[in-house]
Each structure stands twice: as C-alpha cells, then as structure tokens.
Chains A and B, each alone.
Chain A
Amino acid sequence: MIAFFVKRFFQAVVVMFVISLISFSIQDNLGDPLRELVGQAVSEEERQALREEMGLNDPFLVQYVRFAKKAVQGDLGDSYFFKKPAFEVIMKKLPATLELVFGATIIIILFSVPIGVYSAINPQSWFSKTVMGLSIVGISIPVFLTAIGLIYLFAIELNWLPSYGRGETSNVMGFWETGLLSADGLKHLILPSFTLASIMLPLFIRLIRAEMMEVLQSEYVKFAWAKGISPRRIYFVHALKNTMLPVITVGGVQIGTMVAYTILTETVFQWPGMGFLFLEAVNRVDTPLIVAYLIVVGAIFVVTNTLVDLIYGLVNPTVNLAGKK
C-alpha cells in the first residue's frame, strides 16, 4: 500500500512538472498580457518599461527557472488581474466548481442507474428505445445550446429557476463557500448541474445498459435463475454489483474530465468557479493564473485516478463472490 502511494506521488510530481513546462511554453502564443493591463493610448515605451519590470523580456529558461524556484516553495506567482497569488485565487473558486460537479454527479447517478438497468432488462420496450434514441441526440447537442435552452425554458418562460450565478452562499469551516445549505443556493445549482450532467448522462446510461446486458448473459446469473432466486435479487444484487465495477472505473476518470467540462457550463451560467476563471484568464493572457489552473487540474486528475484504483481494489469481485458462498 505504501509503495503504491509513493509511486503515485512521484508520478504526480512528474505530471506537474510536465504540465508546468508545457503551459509555460505556450504563453508566448497566447498574446501580449500588457495590452490587457494598460489603456489604448499608452505609449510603446511605457509598455516596454512595464514588460521589463515584470520580467517578460527575459529568455524562456530564465523565466521558467524563476517560476520553478518559487513553485517548489508553493508560490505559483500572482495573477495579473486579481493581483493576488494565483493559487489562492483558484482555491477560492474551487468549492463552486466542486459543488457543480457534485450536483451533476448526483443527477447522473440518480438517472443513469435506473434507466440503464431498466433498458437492459427490457431492451425491446418503447421506453428503452426512446431513451437510446434520445441519448444519441443528447450526446450530439453542444453544452452551450443545452444551457441556453434550459435558461430560456425554466428561467424566462416559466420563471421557476434563476438564470445565472450561484445565489446565496454561506461559509463553512472558514474557507468553503457553499451554496448547498440554502434554498436559494440549491435553486441556482439545478440548471448548471443538469447542463453539465447532460454531457455524461447518455454515456453512462449506455455504459450501464451494455454492461448489465452482458452480465445478464453470464453463467452465474443463469445459475441463479435456475436456483429460483427472486428476479429482484438477481437484477439488483447479483447482476448490478458486477455491472458497476467497470462503471466506477470510467466514472472516476470522467469526474476529472467533468472538471474540465465545467469551463463551458460555468461560462454560460456565470458560475463563479475555476473553469470560468480559466477561460477569462486565457482571454486576458493572465499567464500565472493559466499555469496555476493547469497544475491544479492536473493534481485533481491524479488524485481521482488514485482514488478509483483504491476503490477498485476494495470492491474486487472475486473477493465478494468467495465471501458469499
């Protein structure tokens, strides 16, 4: 176990290093950060003086070493726009993003499991066929369009839900601004969560359906039928458990991807999370913030993958089967 963690830790360090190097090297192609800092009439000389002051005229290696020296001490530089340490800025936005991903995950679990199982058991029913058809459509509609459609219907026409933002938030444990504790905050979470879930939901319904159908064909399920066990027990205890193993693996990886997908969802809903922050940083060529974001997201990927591996080890199917009979 310890060896596993040590290995993962070194992998993480290598990943961070590579990400920092890549994100640092693309900054020259993003444009000129100075233009976002000064007014249109500021002279070329003034701008050059500022570039010099900020160390932007130094060669790549000099800039990178300066960055790396500070980075190993935990200082990823100050954001040009927020004028605060980039890491601090991102950490402040992290709760909003994680709550959005959490909301979307709940929706995915609540909908994909029952629908997937049902359509695996009754593949010929009209409901299953409709769901399969809709999931194709769902996968191909861009997030942006889904979001605008939802806003139009639920915020403007029906006036049930708020159109943007996070609503009321409250502080827990001193650093976590949460929207989950008030009715207003939860209302604000609904549309963005559905939008974000809409990308992954069809995928999971299809995945669960396919896995479940395969499991239902397996020998041990046939044996269970022969034994006369109740269908409910066969479907939900014996079959579903084995169905979920690959789903957990894919799900863990997809949660990481979902953090990346928040960029679009957050932008449309003006959700004050780190995805929106990243897009703005790219527009403003706020390099320290871009680099810090990529490193943090890299860290999230490494952590979720580690967790998935741990869970997978815990729910090892052979152990479970042996334990039962």
Chain B
Amino acid sequence: MYSYVFRRVFSALPTLFVVITISFFLMRVAPGGPFNLERPLEAKVMENLMRIYNLDKPLWEQYAIYLYNLFQGDLGPSYFFRDFSVAELIAQGLPISVQLGGLALLLALTIGCGLGVIGAIKQNQPADFGVIALATIGITIPNFVVAPVLTLFLAVHFDILPAGGWGDGALANKVLPVLTLALPQVAVIARLTRGSMIEALHSHHIRTARAYGLPGRVVVVRHALRSALLPVVSYMGPAAAALLTGSVVVETIFGIPGIGRYFVQGALNRDYTLVMGTVIVIAVFVVLFNLIVDLLYSLLDPRVRYD
C-alpha cells in the first residue's frame, strides 16, 4: 500500500512536468505581454522591465530559468501585483478558497448522498420526484444566477447575512458563497447516488441481507450505500480539486480574496508567473485527489487492491 502511494506520487512528477511545459508555452503564444498597457510605456522603461524579468531572452531560455527557479521552490514574482511574489499571493488566497471549497464539499456530500438515498428508496414516489426536480434545478441554474438571488433575499431583503466580503473569515460571510458553491454539487451527487443506489438495491446480496432479516437501516447503509458510493467517489476526485482551488464567479460576486480569481485575472493581464502558479496548484490538487479517490476505492471495495 505505502509503496503504491509512493509510486503514484513519483509517477505524478512527469504529469506535472508536462502540464507545466504546455501551459508555459501556451501562455506565450497568446498575443501581448504583461507590460502592454493601454497607454504604452516608454521604450526605455519597457526595455528595462523586459530585462529585469528576463523576458528579453529567447523563449527556451526563459523556460529553463522558470524550471530552474521552480525546482528551488520559487514561483517567481507576479508581473501585475508587483509588490508580491506568486507564492505569497497563493499563500494568502489558497487557504480561503480551500476553506470555502471544503465546507461546500462537506455540505454537498451530506445533503447530496442523503437526498440520493431517499430518492432510491422511494423510487417513483413523490419524495423521489422531489429529489429529481431539485437535482435538475441545481444543475440547470448557473451559479451567477443563484448567487445574486441568494444575496437579494438573505442579505438585502431579510438582511440576515452580509452580501459580500470575507470579513476575516467570519461564519456569516461564508454562508452565501458556500451555499452557491454547494448547490450544483448537491444536485450532481444526489443524481449519482440515486442511480447507483437503485442498482445496488437490486443486487443479489441485498436480497440475501433482507432474506436474513437484517433491519432496513443496516441493509441500506451497510450493504447498499457502500457499493453505491463508488461512482460518487470517482466523481468527487476532480470535483473536489475544482472546488478547493476556488471559483472565479463565486469569488468575484462575493468579493472573496481566494485564488480562483487569480487564474482568470492573471490570464487577462498576461501575468505569466501567476497563471503558471495557479496551474501548478490546480494540477497538484487534481493529481492528489485522484490518488485519494483510488485509495478510497480500495477501502470501500476490497476487490480493488493495489500491491
């Protein structure tokens, strides 16, 4: 098991390398640069800036310098937020995004699985139709609609929650963004759980459990839900990585200083190093959560073994 984890982490390095390489060159293919502003800089200033940031060197040399620095743990300076290094920006923003994403994830898993199980047990009954309707709504309404509507009611109309801002991480400030992040995930998880639960409840070993007079709760939770969770778990890998690395829309609407915004802002500003930094963070999260998913798989289903 440990050797498996070690091998997986080890084999993730080439993947990261490929991601970094492709993003590096793709960024440079985009026209313009970090210092092409609306009002052009003086030629001399531009020249100095380009030299300081090594942007006057051939592309492959810039690439080599970036890799060399990266190897030393240096993500470089931000070209746009000039008082900060990329590492500092990520260190400030990532914990906030992870907090919001983590809470949304927990909420989505609890409510989503719960609704899915209810839907499956009450298949084709009113409760089930309710779950399906809710899931469809959650998937179809985009978060940039959900967020303003929630704000309008809970913050403006009833005035029980702040409309935006981080408020140094006060609980009240987290409620609306977490709800907005969680809603579509609740919907997807409820649908997935319902589908695989229905299948699991029809399996032969569930018939055995019922034939042996086990209480309904044991049959559903111990025997059916465990195998029904497998598709949910495999969905949660990439979904968790996406949630924890922040959402542009939610962070922008609620004015939250997470790292989700950096990715889009960085790309628009041609802030090469900031984009590379967020790409690396996202890639590491994706790799990490896929590994966690595979380990959870073998934990849930003993037929899956990695030796």
A binds B: no
Write the residues of chain B forming the contact surface with A, with a CB cutoff of 8 angstroms: none
